[in-house]
Amino acid sequence: MAENNSSTSTLSFEVLLEYLKRKHHFDFTGYKRSSLERRIQHRMGQLGIESYSEYLSYLEATEEEFAHLFSTIEINYTYFFRDRDTWDYLCQDIIPRIQAAKPPDQPIRVWSAGCASGEETYTLAIVLAEALGIEQFNQRVHIFATDIDDDALRKARQSSYLEHEMTRIPPHLLNQYFERINDRYQFRKDLRAAISFHRHNLIQNAPMSKIDLLVCRNTLIYFDLDAQTKALVRFHFSLEDRGFLFLGKAEMVPGELDLFRTINVNHHVYTKLPKEYLSPRLFVQAFKRPR
């Protein structure tokens, strides 16, 4: 039966979100409500389900439904070398700047935030290795890759992908950075030591520190304005004074935040504006505990 009473509908939508948090540890607090509702309703439509409460019963009874819901929301969608031209820019322009600004014996700390199943993290590793050389990469680079989705992190840690997932990688890089094992491709073992994967919630957990390059792409887009601000203030805290922030094609830093300077508007690359103090309003907004 359709939930035509909107307060009942809101209530059962909240119950559905509460269930997803409890059962699947996926907290949608801070997500854009309207697009979340639209996408969940799209999935319900595919199943011929009209109410959130009926969909909740279906989710409880059908083990594989959570994965379907996730892919409908496109929350884990990712692929290697997403927006190829931007990775070229990073390789040719930004990484050499990071290298030039630091003494050669100092580590280069990189945060791949919202890394999903690892395709972006390994792209980043390849680009860093290409820009710095394998020796410098092994000696200096630490990549902290984080996400809130345990299943995605499990796949990322395995670093093993099927052939159809590799199509965007330029062939010479595929040969150089992956080992073919039966029907799968595995990222080079010697470079994997530089990469660690961790579960981390961008709007609730303490941010990483002393980061030179922070890549967070196609993740803030899901957040409402308050959650975006929380994440961006935390990114500001994370970055070294000359550190760079690299967002997705549909994402930007609101100018009024006054925390970052645009380096390249087409590639959505920013640098931190060092601040002695954050405004108390921003500090409280970013670090207040969730209700």
Ligand X SMILES: C[S@@+](CC[C@H](N)C(=O)[O-])C[C@H]1O[C@@H](n2cnc3c(N)ncnc32)[C@H](O)[C@@H]1O
Nearer to ligand X, 41 or 76 (CB): 76
Residue 155: HSE in the Cβ half-sphere, 13 Å Cα cutoff = 18
Cα angle for residues 144, 147, 151 (degrees, 5° grid): 120
Alpha carbon distance 245, 249 (integer Å): 13
Q: How far is the CB of 5 from ligand X (least distance, A)?
A: 30
Please list every residue from 92 through 131 that binds ligand X, using CB under 6 A: 114, 116, 120
Nearer to ligand X, 130 or 149 (CB): 149
152 is a contact residue toward ligand X (CB under 6 A)? yes
Nearer to ligand X, 53 or 270 (CB): 270
Stretch that binds ligand X, among 1-9, 38-46, 101-109, 144-152 (CB under 6 A): 144-152
Q: How far is the CB of 49 from ligand X (least distance, A)?
A: 24
Alpha carbon distance 284, 75 (integer Å): 28
82 is a contact residue toward ligand X (CB under 6 A)? yes
78 is a contact residue toward ligand X (CB under 6 A)? yes
Stretch that binds ligand X, among 124-132, 178-186, 218-226, 238-246 (CB under 6 A): 218-226
Nearer to ligand X, 109 or 234 (CB): 234
Nearer to ligand X, 250 or 284 (CB): 250
φ, ψ for residue 173, nearest 5 deg: -75, -35
212 is a contact residue toward ligand X (CB under 6 A)? no
Nearer to ligand X, 254 or 290 (CB): 290
143 is a contact residue toward ligand X (CB under 6 A)? no
Nearer to ligand X, 53 or 219 (CB): 219
Binds ligand X by CB under 6 A, chosen from 118, 207, 243, 248: 248
149 is a contact residue toward ligand X (CB under 6 A)? yes
Stretch that binds ligand X, among 14-22, 77-85, 253-261, 269-277 (CB under 6 A): 77-85
Q: How far is the CB of 218 from ligand X (least distance, A)?
A: 4
Stretch that binds ligand X, among 6-14, 70-78, 182-190, 268-276 (CB under 6 A): 70-78
HEC string of the chain equals CCCCCHHHHHHHHHHHHHHHHHHHCCCCCCECHHHHHHHHHHHHHHHCCCCHHHHHHHHHHCCCHHHHHHHHHCCCCCCCCCCHHHHHHHHHHHHHHHHHHCCCCCCEEEEEECCCCCHHHHHHHHHHHHHHCHHHHHHHEEEEEEECCHHHHHHHHHCEEEHHHCCCCCHHHHHHHEEEECCEEEECHHHHCCEEEEECCCCCCCCCCCEEEEEECCCHHHECHHHHHHHHHHHHHHEEEEEEEEECCCCCCCHHHCCEEEEECCCCEEEECCCCCCCHHHHHHHHCCCC
201 is a contact residue toward ligand X (CB under 6 A)? yes
- Which residues in this chain contact ligand X in the complex, by CB under 6 A? 75-78, 82, 114, 116, 120, 147-149, 152, 201-203, 217-219, 222, 248
